[in-house]
Amino acid sequence: MTATVSPVAAAPVVKAPPAPGVREELLAAVPRLRAFAMSLCGRSARADDLVQETLVRAWANIGMFEPGSNMAAWLYTILRNQFYSEFRKHRHEVEDEDGVHAARLTTGPVQEGHMEFLEFRDALARLADDHREALILIGASGLSYEEAAGICGCAVGTMKSRVNRARARLAELLAEPEQARSRSLGTAPRHDAS
């Protein structure tokens, strides 16, 4: 058995009215709040938004304000906390109202880069083991020739020679025409649609 619920508006939440004079204190603090907001963010439109948000939050939580305490200090605290919360949340964003910055952002095609990486990886795999090892230790890992020679158990001069030969051979392999690389790798050449 299903029950039908009639669409009835929720009863409004009744709050206790603020103490007399609190509203006037709140409104009297607006010019000083705006000046404080300007000192924090430097832009009048942003400062006005910050003051408005502060007043909305203060009014929503007016029951937490203790009459007789410093209204301006309470409002400054709300404003300051709101500013820094938004700052932390949006610090990595770039304001671009006119879309100028977004228009300059472009992403190049990644397919070619991926294919070049695959070709590089295949050419690297075709190097002699000792040459590939030397090139990776020096070029990719950033070790010194002395450190790489110590790891491989060879003389520093031998390590320099291996790296030099590996770079030269890698350049040769990458400079080969695509069809020759494909034959040597045992794969069919790629054909670009023209």
Domain encompassing residue 130: 113-185
Average pLDDT score over residue span 59-70: 83
Task: Clarify whether residues 119 and 68 are in a common domain.
Answer: no
* 29 domain-assigned: yes
Do residues 83 and 135 both lie within one domain?
no
Q: Per the domain annotation, does 161 fall within a domain?
A: yes
Number of structural domains found in the chain: 2
Cα 135 to Cα 65: distance, rounded to the nearest angstrom? 69
The CATH number of whichever domain residue 171 belongs to comes to 1.10.10.10
Closest C-alpha among 107, 52, 98 to residue 79 = 52
Both 81 and 139 in one domain: the answer is: no
Please determine, for residue 70, whether its predicted confidence score (pLDDT) is greater than 80.
yes
Using one digit for the tens of pLDDT, what is the confidence trace for 155-194? Answer: 999 999 999 999 999 999 998 876 554 555 555 444 444 3
16 part of a folded domain: no
Q: Which residues contact 25 (CB under 8 A, 6 or more apart)?
A: 71
Residues 127 and 174 both lie in one domain: yes
| The domain boundary residue, chosen from 60, 91, 122 | 91
Is residue 175 situated within a structural domain? yes
CA angle 19, 21, 25 (to 5 degrees): 115
Reported as a single tens digit per residue, the pLDDT across 81-128 is 888 888 777 667 667 777 787 777 777 676 787 888 889 899 989 999
- 65-to-19, 26, 74, 84, 126 alpha-carbon distances in Å: 10, 11, 8, 21, 75
Quote the pTM value: 0.40
Q: Which residues are CB-contacts of 108 (< 8 A; sequence separation ≥ 6)?
A: none
For residue 35, the domain's CATH number is: 1.10.1740.10
135: in domain: yes
Task: Specify if 168 maps to a domain.
Answer: yes
Decide if 77 is inside a domain: yes
Domain contains 38? yes
